[in-house]
Chain A
């Protein structure tokens, strides 16, 4: 059994109450956990599994099914590269490889070692008319190119 601090327990209790009053939906519950912590810490799954008498496997089944859920902490800055069709034909592939190269993200990972940046791909953000699109900390930037992207990263590095 993994211990959670009283502080975390309070947050989890709040999420639990919402879960009980609102149709008992595992996906909403996980979305709430992720909103609170930025990712889904394994010990919170353990905590809910015991409270609700739902096997942990069901939670992990849902977590790993949906692209939105993360089991590892995320970087301070989140850079999302859109790789939808319109972005693809306008060269998002080259942007994405430049992004991972510039941030020096280890193979198979998506967060820098210092936890400053997370880079990820998203299927399509639906801003195709201004392709290629990069989202930096929830702000959408259209008609991106490599030199603009590198400038943005530099600015974030200095912050």
Chain B
């Protein structure tokens, strides 16, 4: 019997870091030695695929024999030989390495639209995308729909911008489309329009855009071409972070392949559409994710935002009408066109349609990339998909929306995850970072962490943001050092609200959110730092001491060896001791002790 074997190895940034390339090489070598690669009876092909979400269990490998899929987790190169011999040759999967219940639980409550082909197709091969229906949407648009009809479909679908603000995408396109005909542009008649893909994913704790571009770059390109047709743009840019080298490489490859297939360039698919895309590398400034700052950065200047209006749809890149869409927004477009607006709007809630991709990280068991219908319960994400809190600890809070978002406390874990519900509790959906915090995380320290970030990334143009964030950070810093004063919390609140009200752009307007939301729900923790000089979670260095617990210490000497300041003494097999005066609180002993004998607090 002739069998058809497909092997898919996860080669996203996570997969490669876990050794994906070595696993792939091992397969190639073993297949050659086993003679499978040259066999007529066994048609075998290897594919590298993008992220399929569950990065915590990388390297994930799919072995598909005659359509029957087996998934291996934690694959290492030295496991490959056994998989080839027992599974590929003998037909018996290696049961002990096959992904278990966790893998299926992780996927069960997810609904994949944007990620439906991610992790399934080879991102470096345009034909793989075409084979699963790629560029069908573009064909449909060019042959049977006018730009207005295309916009109408997107409007009807209810798609809202996935970059954070949640502005309706169809409406944005429509406004830009109409700029020429109605002549309401401040710069009047416009012969040139632009569409920009915002891939400057700077939120710490978010990697959806990276994964989409690494896993299925053509979906973004197709979305951009359709957008260009709808608004009448002939030039497009992808503004992408230079910190994502693999995504940049795959995007460039995809663009070259699209040009070869006449999907970019002049007379795309023989229609009257001329459009091409350029890649612009960001240079490491978070504020450039703000659209007006992004525009001036493409123009080659310091990326400082300006006041709106005029909005970019009226006066954007080089003063021309410009639509800026986020990666995930654009990647949704081909699927909406192919499957219809009604199909898309059947997911989600009344005001938040469709699905959203989140980067689920922090203290959950199954960290990774997930896509869920809008309106899903937060606890379903954490306990069903995420598998609950790691190490059996208790959930403390969920941070969403990165430095612009807030912390949702454990007692609100029953809320729905959509634009409106999260806004109501003082957080945001944002770009989709979701960091789970447990009882060992200090909320004051988390707020300080985000403020350090926004303060450093503030471009300095407007005073409330430049000076306000600095003052906020100073207050937080002294609280974490045990030097907080009476009235500090009120000061944080007043100042935070002023910064929100008076800042020029989204960065400043949202920068106080992490502070304000933690103050709202975890005020007692702030108070413990100020009044009792204690950090309840045992994180803030100035408020804790390290000591060794007599009942657990085995006298193994591991802590003595790692201590950089020589603060730990003791003989082998006897109780060790930390000299507090010499301790620099680096935590090395805490990390290295296998017996939990080092106490923090």
Which one of A26, A86, A101 contacts B361 once the chains associate, using CB atoms below 8 Å? A86
Residues of B within 8 A of A94 (CB): 586-588, 591
Q: Which of B26-34, B196-204, B414-422 contacts A (4 or more CB under 8 A)?
A: B196-204
Asked if B302 and A62 make an inter-chain contact with CB atoms under 8 angstroms apart, the answer reads yes
Asked if B369 and A84 make an inter-chain contact with CB atoms under 8 angstroms apart, the answer reads no
A103, CB-defined interface residue at 8 Å: no
Residues of B within 8 A of A62 (CB): 300-302
B374, CB-defined interface residue at 8 Å: no
Asked if A126 and B361 make an inter-chain contact with CB atoms under 8 angstroms apart, the answer reads no
In the complex, how many angstroms separate the beta carbon of B359 from the nearest chain A beta carbon?
6
Q: Which of A2-10, A106-114, A138-146 contacts B (4 or more CB under 8 A)?
A: A138-146
Residues of A within 8 A of B282 (CB): 68
Residues of A within 8 A of B211 (CB): 126
Bound complex: CA A125 to CA B210 (Å): 9
Residues of B within 8 A of A123 (CB): 202, 204, 243, 286, 453, 457
In the complex, how many angstroms separate the beta carbon of A141 from the nearest chain B beta carbon?
6
B89, CB-defined interface residue at 8 Å: no
Bound complex: CA A97 to CA B205 (Å): 21
In the complex, how many angstroms separate the beta carbon of B448 from the nearest chain A beta carbon?
10
Residues of B within 8 A of A141 (CB): 17
Bound complex: CA A145 to CA B207 (Å): 22
Task: Give 10 pairs: A residue, B residue, CB < 8 Å, sorted on A.
Answer: A25-B298, A28-B280, A28-B281, A62-B301, A85-B402, A123-B457, A126-B13, A126-B243, A140-B16, A145-B591
Residues of B within 8 A of A105 (CB): none
Q: Please give me the residue from chain A that is nearest to B57 by CB atom.
A: A129
Bits for A69-110, please: 1 = Cβ < 8 Å to B, else 0: 100000000000001111011110010011001000000000
In the complex, how many angstroms separate the beta carbon of A26 from the nearest chain B beta carbon?
4
Which one of B18, B56, B283, B359 contacts A68 once the chains associate, using CB atoms below 8 Å? B283
Asked if A146 and B591 make an inter-chain contact with CB atoms under 8 angstroms apart, the answer reads yes
B362, CB-defined interface residue at 8 Å: yes
In the complex, how many angstroms separate the beta carbon of B454 from the nearest chain A beta carbon?
11
Bits for B42-80, please: 1 = Cβ < 8 Å to A, else 0: 000000000000011010000000000000000000000
In the complex, how many angstroms separate the beta carbon of B15 from the nearest chain A beta carbon?
10
Bits for A114-143, please: 1 = Cβ < 8 Å to B, else 0: 000000001111111111010000101110
Within 8 A of A (CB), among B356-407: 359-363, 367-369, 399, 402
Given that A140-B13, A140-B16 are contacting pairs, would A88 and B449 also be in contact in the complex, using a CB cutoff of 8 Å?
yes
Asked if B433 and A127 make an inter-chain contact with CB atoms under 8 angstroms apart, the answer reads no
Asked if B284 and A68 make an inter-chain contact with CB atoms under 8 angstroms apart, the answer reads yes
Which one of B245, B300, B368 contacts A138 once the chains associate, using CB atoms below 8 Å? B245
Bits for A140-159, please: 1 = Cβ < 8 Å to B, else 0: 11100111000000000000
In the complex, how many angstroms separate the beta carbon of B381 from the nearest chain A beta carbon?
14
Which one of A97, A125, A145 contacts B586 once the chains associate, using CB atoms below 8 Å? A97
Bound complex: CA A48 to CA B285 (Å): 24
Asked if A66 and B281 make an inter-chain contact with CB atoms under 8 angstroms apart, the answer reads no
Tally chain A residues at the interface, Cβ within 8 Å.
46
A1, CB-defined interface residue at 8 Å: no
Tally chain B residues at the interface, Cβ within 8 Å.
62
Q: Please give me the residue from chain A that is nearest to B207 by CB atom.
A: A126
Given that A66-B285, A129-B14 are contacting pairs, would A83 and B204 also be in contact in the complex, using a CB cutoff of 8 Å?
yes
Which one of B210, B245, B283 contacts A66 once the chains associate, using CB atoms below 8 Å? B283
Q: Please give me the residue from chain B that is nearest to A28 by CB atom.
A: B300
In the complex, how many angstroms separate the beta carbon of A113 from the nearest chain B beta carbon?
19
Given that A66-B284, A124-B206 are contacting pairs, would A146 and B588 also be in contact in the complex, using a CB cutoff of 8 Å?
yes
Given that A25-B300, A66-B285, A94-B587 are contacting pairs, would A84 and B56 also be in contact in the complex, using a CB cutoff of 8 Å?
no
Q: Please give me the residue from chain A that is nearest to B17 by CB atom.
A: A140
- 8 more CB-based (< 8 A) A-B contacts, given A123-B204, A130-B18: A26-B301, A65-B285, A68-B282, A89-B446, A123-B286, A129-B56, A129-B360, A129-B369
In the complex, how many angstroms separate the beta carbon of B437 from the nearest chain A beta carbon?
6
Bits for B560-599, please: 1 = Cβ < 8 Å to A, else 0: 0010100000000000000000000011100110000000
Bound complex: CA A5 to CA B399 (Å): 53
In the complex, how many angstroms separate the beta carbon of A13 from the nearest chain B beta carbon?
20
Asked if A124 and B55 make an inter-chain contact with CB atoms under 8 angstroms apart, the answer reads no
Bound complex: CA A43 to CA B190 (Å): 41
In the complex, how many angstroms separate the beta carbon of A132 from the nearest chain B beta carbon?
11
Q: Please give me the residue from chain A that is nearest to B435 by CB atom.
A: A85
Given that A27-B300, A84-B204, A89-B362 are contacting pairs, would A128 and B367 also be in contact in the complex, using a CB cutoff of 8 Å?
yes
Bound complex: CA A52 to CA B350 (Å): 55
In the complex, how many angstroms separate the beta carbon of A103 from the nearest chain B beta carbon?
12
Bound complex: CA A145 to CA B359 (Å): 22
Which one of B207, B243, B449, B586 contacts A128 once the chains associate, using CB atoms below 8 Å? B207
Bound complex: CA A50 to CA B284 (Å): 27
Q: Please give me the residue from chain B that is nearest to A62 by CB atom.
A: B302
Asked if B205 and A27 make an inter-chain contact with CB atoms under 8 angstroms apart, the answer reads no
Asked if A147 and B284 make an inter-chain contact with CB atoms under 8 angstroms apart, the answer reads no
A44, CB-defined interface residue at 8 Å: no
Within 8 A of A (CB), among B428-443: 433, 435, 437, 441
A24, CB-defined interface residue at 8 Å: yes
Given that A65-B302, A126-B13 are contacting pairs, would A142 and B588 also be in contact in the complex, using a CB cutoff of 8 Å?
no
Residues of B within 8 A of A49 (CB): none
Asked if A27 and B283 make an inter-chain contact with CB atoms under 8 angstroms apart, the answer reads yes
Q: Please give me the residue from chain B that is nearest to A138 by CB atom.
A: B245
Q: Please give me the residue from chain A that is nearest to B450 by CB atom.
A: A85
B194, CB-defined interface residue at 8 Å: no
